[in-house]
Amino acid sequence: MLASPLHDVLACALGWLAIGLVGVFQPRNFWLVTRVLFPLGAIIGLAIAATALAAIFSPPSSLVLPLGLPDLPFHARVDALSCFFLLLLGSVSAGVSVFAAGYFRRGEGTPPGLQCLYYHVFLSSMALVLVADDAYFFMVVWETMALSSFFLVTSDHGSAEIRRAGFLYLLIAHLGAIAILLCFGALQSGTGNYTFETMRAVQPTPLWATAAFLLALVGFGAKAGIVPLHVWLPEAHPAAPSPVSALMSAVMLKTAIYGLLRVTFDLIGWPLWWWGVVALVIGLVSALFGIVFAAVQTDMKRLLAYSSIENIGLVMAGFGLTILFKAFSMGALAALALTATLYHCLNHAFFKSLLFLATGSVLHATRERSLGKLGGLIHRMPWVAWTALVGTIAIAGLPPLNGFVSEWLLLQAFLFTPGLPHSYLNMLVPVAAAMIALTAALSGYVMVKFYGVVFLGQPREAKLAEAHDAGIRERIGLLWLAAGCVVLGLAPVAAIGLIDPIARAFTGHGLALGGAAGWLMLAPISAERAAYSPLAVLLMIALLVTIAWLSVRLFYHGRMRRTAAWGCGFPHLDARMQDTAEGFGQPVSVVFEPFFRVDQAVPSPFDAKPRYRQSLDDRLWHWLYLPVVRAVDKATALVTVLQRGRISVYLMYSFATLLVLLLFVR
Amino acid sequence: MISAAGIAAQLTELALAVVLAPLLTGWVNQCRAWLQNRSAPGLLQPYRMLAKLFQKEVALAHNASPMFRTAPYLVFGCLCVAAAIVPTLGTDLPLNAVADAIALVGLLALARMFIALAGMDVGTAFGSLGARREMLVGFLAEPALLMVLFTASLISHSTSLATIVETLAHRELVIYPSMAFAGIAFTMVSLAENARIPVDNPSTHLELTMIHEAMVLEYSGRHLAMIEWAASLKLFVYSCMGLALFFPWGVAEGGDWLGIVLALPGLFVKLAIGGAGLSLIETVSAKLRIFRAPEFLGTAFLLAVLAMLVHVLLEG
């Protein structure tokens, strides 16, 4: 323990950097990296989580660091919002680091020491993003985060596909960074002072505030993966090693949400109501878009990446609702919506990293990412399968696990919206609530597909018989995250207590918790309005299942005969007759056909070797991105006219430039 | 607060639901047989069926995982809790407070997820086909059901089922357009969710038309008995939910014994009429092709959203 929580956090960030540096000097020392450095990183993660947990209720503390340019030092500050996201970062990264200690193998892609450097620089920069308190420091660590994650994404850079994914990621990350930079420019309101302290103190005019908000929405939205800036996400997440995908999806996307919250509620302070509508609409579109595309994926990591878009969409919807309530000075409801938003961030961090790590174990055991070649792994990999089941139920938003709690809170917030003093907005509510409900139901569909095709059924390939279960460190990582999902699901009141200081700081209200039923019962407004007690539900289910099982055993018998599966009289059942991932996605691709750009070739009845091919593409890629790419290509083609390749011509250009400059400058 | 009498009343209600659920299925089957001019199998046929299945041994596929064996009990457990949440007889029961309408939908979805996963577990073509279709029906029906419940929640300013029933029972007796839309949507959703004609046919084993039966094709013995029982419970839960939302009169307010006993005959009459209505719908309508099911359920979803809109615009 050092002087203040801020010192502790900075020390931990430095510790991560030091671990990374040790890795550089021992790049091929496999034992050191996996047995010492990664576990040490996990311990630092726990330390950050513990610091944040202790500091979340204390007043903000700030510090001027002896770093940066001579008259432009770095400012750091830690408040409840930072603490909440630091807690998320620390607790999730602890699990991921332990898993990573067992995950990285000899002789794969980048040397382990370098991997260790990028990984810990990535962690450290994310921690620093959360404590940065001036635009300069923020942009430096934000870019460090983007670059280190770029190197992690391209760690298997031998493949052209992965290099392309990395390029796309870097490109969109930088478009976002420019927007964020401009956003800070709009926020300093002509003072020329880029500390967040000044931005908080100065009240920008509505015009500048709007510009800042929209720029922040674009900049942070590009990092979070909102539609239409999502294209990098399904490319970059599958390309990265699984622990990195887990961190990117679980934590990095949340730093973007952190940035949005920081700019909107802290730096700007008083949002306008229509910003909320914009965020809400973008969120709902992203959520539905993400889950519909997740349903038709055949690569398990792409499926999870699209599901991240969906979850970010839900978070954005909650964010939009918070703005709406806050702009209309409905403090208690703003607190409810903000709580749902932050709770969902925390939940998504846990279940999505759990599932990404599970796919990592599957990938290691089978060398297969395609859903069409997996199956039946519950027999070969029980640890991974059962922990993944926890993640599956959680992400599908089903009681009694954590995904349900945040969706419940979000839906509760929607049910209050008709009180808004605006009749058109009130009409938006049923539509928005319907979209949230549809998204939640679809995520159940997607997760049944994911879990059923990967872990259940018969193995679709012969080589799956050799699949091995996860190692001990991988298991610890998986269990840690699964336990997080369970705890967040069963003790929502405790978790909401952590969000309370943020809600009070930003909305002036907290939720009415700790009423008559205390910590057992979640009743955000009042028990008559809505109440939910996950622990009681779980206990009831467990009790009734036990009673049912015992009475069947008691009154009847436990006789069982193992036999072949019933093939309806057809003797040649095999694993290829199971539903494929494409088959499972087919109903969704039919119901939501307008979403896709379908390219398919169906064989004629007379083909001797029939081949069926179908590819579903993102329309936005063709509508939005390819025209831009073509325009850039055209522009560059025009510029190449200047490029003659002869030194005399270039000297001519220089001379002409000089003349023109002389003319102007004199 | 939770009292001993409350717990006893709660247990009575739960036990009643578990015991009566197969009777409701038997009643629907009997009505349907009468309407179709067949001789009926008798009211107690589902019980005989369950007893027979419990006595048979289980034939388990070689590669069935523990998931396959636990799923029937889990599904049964989830539906029991759902049955306990819905205020069938009285509104002031302890479990009504621990889970609201959204949690009820969540519990039903949890049961569906387990049974779909179990359907995929053995890895036969039928199992995964059934699971996929069940989830297809599910992802369209679930939001519609949620919207219906939201409409009721907006009217009563609460998502607690007990409060919803109390508010709805005390409203003026006129036709509310929102509840009319919601009622139609709810009927359509219930038909789909309970594997009834026109979406599914509970008494068929034709591969092109099966949904629920395809998914549970691999089950036998006591596992199948649990699933059949859970299916009856689901029908019971949906019926009671429909009665609670659209015909809430007669449900005891407060948890005293007398009220609950007095509510019992009312429940019987309402369920008997509801079951007869269900068999009438099943008799007069034809089974839809599976590809038409999304349209059917999409209509239900739209009607439910419309119900909510109408409430916000006209009655708000």
3-state DSSP of A309-339: HHHHHHHHHHHHHHHHHHHCCCHHHHHHHHH
Going by DSSP bridges, is the β-strand pair B58-61/A560-563 parallel, antiparallel, or unpaired? Answer: parallel
d(CA B170, CA A231): 53
d(CA A350, CA A564): 39
Q: Is residue A295 part of a domain?
A: no
d(CA A182, CA A77): 22
pLDDT tier for residue B316 given thresholds of 50, 70 and 90: low
The torsion angles phi and psi of B48, rounded to 5 degrees, stand at -60, -40
C-alpha closest to that of A412 among A507, A341, A328: A341
C-alpha closest to that of A189 among A168, A203, A177: A203
Which residue is closest to B94 within chain A, CA to CA? A536
| Contact flag B125-A552 (C-beta cutoff 8 Å) | no
d(CA B253, CA B169): 10
C-alpha closest to that of A460 among B132, B130, B128: B128
- How many of the other CB atoms lie within 10 Å of CB of A31? 9
Q: By percentage, how much of chain B surpasses pLDDT 70?
A: 97
pLDDT confidence of residue A347: 96
| C-alpha R_g of chain A | 26
Which residue is closest to B115 within chain A, CA to CA? A448
pLDDT confidence of residue B3: 72
C-alpha closest to that of A524 among A344, A357, A337, A354: A337
d(CA B140, CA B147): 11
pLDDT confidence of residue B214: 87
d(CA A105, CA A89): 25
C-alpha closest to that of A82 among A119, A56, A46, A120: A56
Chain A CB contacts of B83 below 8 Å: none
Going by DSSP bridges, is the β-strand pair A560-563/A72-78 parallel, antiparallel, or unpaired? Answer: unpaired
Q: Is residue A203 part of a domain?
A: no
Q: How many domains does chain B contain in total? A: 1
Chain B within 8 Å of A399 (Cβ-Cβ)? yes
d(CA B87, CA B84): 7
Residues 523-582 of A with CB under 8 A from B: 527-533, 536-537, 540-542, 544-545, 548-549, 552, 555-557, 559-568, 573, 575, 577-579
| Largest separation between any pair of C-alpha atoms in chain A | 105
d(CA A188, CA A184): 6
pLDDT confidence of residue A108: 65
Chain A CB contacts of B65 below 8 Å: 378-379, 456
How far does A538 lie from chain B, in Å, by closest CA? 9
d(CA A597, CA A552): 52
Residue B43 carries which DSSP code? T
**Which ranges of chain B would DSSP assign to H, the alpha helix?**
4-35, 45-55, 66-85, 101-121, 125-156, 161-169, 177-193, 212-215, 221-246, 257-284, 293-310
pLDDT confidence of residue A514: 53
Question: What stretch of H or E contains A414?
Answer: helix A402-416
Transcribe B210-253 into DSSP letters: -SHHHHTTT--HHHHHHHHHHHHHHHHHHHHHHHHHH--TTPBS
The torsion angles phi and psi of A226, rounded to 5 degrees, stand at -80, 150
| Contact flag B61-A566 (C-beta cutoff 8 Å) | yes
**Which residues, at least 6 apart from A211, have a Cβ–Cβ distance to it below 8 Å?**
A183, A186
**Which residues, at least 6 apart from B136, have a Cβ–Cβ distance to it below 8 Å?**
A445, A587, A591, B293, B294
Q: Is residue A179 part of a domain?
A: no
Q: Is residue A529 part of a domain?
A: no
Which residue is closest to A447 within chain B, CA to CA? B113
Q: Which of A415, A445, A542 sits opposite B139 (nearest CB)?
A: A445
Going by DSSP bridges, is the β-strand pair A596-601/A560-563 parallel, antiparallel, or unpaired? Answer: unpaired
Pair A300, A454: CB distance under 8 Å:
yes
Chain B CB contacts of A528 below 8 Å: 158, 160, 163
| Contact flag B61-A447 (C-beta cutoff 8 Å) | no
Residue A19 tokens read as 């671990």
Pair A96, A357: CB distance under 8 Å:
yes
| Contact flag A452-B116 (C-beta cutoff 8 Å) | yes
d(CA A372, CA A367): 13
Which residue is closest to B80 within chain A, CA to CA? A544
* Share in percent of chain A as helix, strand, coil (round to 5): 75, 5, 20
C-alpha closest to that of A348 among A481, A525, A502: A481
Q: How many domains does chain A contain in total? A: 1
d(CA B124, CA B122): 6
Torsion of CA A86, A88, A94, A100, to 10 degrees: -110
| Contact flag A579-B120 (C-beta cutoff 8 Å) | yes
Select from B113, B147, B193 the residue whose CB has the most chain A CBs within 10 Å, as the one to mutate to test that interface. Answer: B113
| Contact flag A537-B81 (C-beta cutoff 8 Å) | yes
The torsion angles phi and psi of A269, rounded to 5 degrees, stand at 95, -65
Angle, nearest 10°, between helix axes B125-156 and B177-193? 160
- How many of the other CB atoms lie within 10 Å of CB of A459? 21
Q: What angle is formed at CA A479 by the lines to CA A477 and CA A484, rounded to 5 degrees? A: 100
| Contact flag A549-B139 (C-beta cutoff 8 Å) | no
| Contact flag A418-B316 (C-beta cutoff 8 Å) | yes
The torsion angles phi and psi of A157, rounded to 5 degrees, stand at -75, 5
pLDDT confidence of residue B142: 94
Residues 159-218 of A with CB under 8 A from B: none
Q: What SS3 class is residue A105?
A: coil
Chain A CB contacts of B206 below 8 Å: none
pLDDT confidence of residue A512: 65
Q: Which of B61, B100, B110 sits opposite A530 (nearest CB)?
A: B100
Q: Which of B60, B63, B301 sits opposite A560 (nearest CB)?
A: B60
Q: Which of A528, A532, A563 sits opposite B61 (nearest CB)?
A: A563
Count of A-B CB contacts under 8 Å? 262
Which residues of chain A have a pLDDT value below 70? 1-3, 106-109, 512-519, 666
Residue A655 domain boundaries: 592-601+611-665
Q: What SS3 class is residue A203?
A: coil
Q: What SS3 class is residue A193?
A: coil
Q: What SS3 class is residue A439?
A: helix
pLDDT confidence of residue A518: 63
Q: Which of A528, A577, A583 sits opposite B160 (nearest CB)?
A: A528
How far does A477 lie from chain B, in Å, by closest CA? 23
Residue B193 domain boundaries: 4-315
More confident site: B206 or A658: A658
How far does A295 lie from chain B, in Å, by closest CA? 11
Q: Which of A544, A552, A560 sits opposite B57 (nearest CB)?
A: A560
Select from A333, A439, A445 the residue whose CB has the most chain B CBs within 10 Å, as the one to mutate to test that interface. Answer: A445
Residues 217-276 of A with CB under 8 A from B: none
Residue A572's identity, in one-letter code, is H
Chain B CB contacts of A387 below 8 Å: none
How far does A328 lie from chain B, in Å, by closest CA? 19
Burial grade of A558 (CB within 10 A; 0-12, 13-18, 19 or more):
exposed
d(CA A579, CA A587): 12
DSSP bridge partners of B61: A563
Task: Establish whether the linkage from the previous residue to A206 is cis, with ω within 30° of 0.
Answer: no
Chain B within 8 Å of A519 (Cβ-Cβ)? no
DSSP bridge partners of A599: A615
Q: Which residue has the tokens 């390819």?
A: A626
pLDDT confidence of residue A107: 62
Residue B110's identity, in one-letter code, is L
| C-alpha R_g of chain B | 19
| Contact flag A448-B131 (C-beta cutoff 8 Å) | yes
Residues 357-376 of A with CB under 8 A from B: 375-376
pLDDT confidence of residue A106: 67
d(CA A330, CA A335): 9
pLDDT confidence of residue B50: 95
Residue B280's identity, in one-letter code, is L
Residue A222's identity, in one-letter code, is A
Mean pLDDT across the stretch B41-55?
Answer: 93
Residues 373-392 of A with CB under 8 A from B: 375-376, 378-379, 389
Mean pLDDT across the stretch B33-47?
Answer: 92
- How many of the other CB atoms lie within 10 Å of CB of A47? 18
d(CA B16, CA B21): 8
Instruction: Look over chain B and give the mean of its residue pLDDT values, rounded to a whole number.
Output: 90
pLDDT confidence of residue A525: 74
Chain B within 8 Å of A631 (Cβ-Cβ)? no
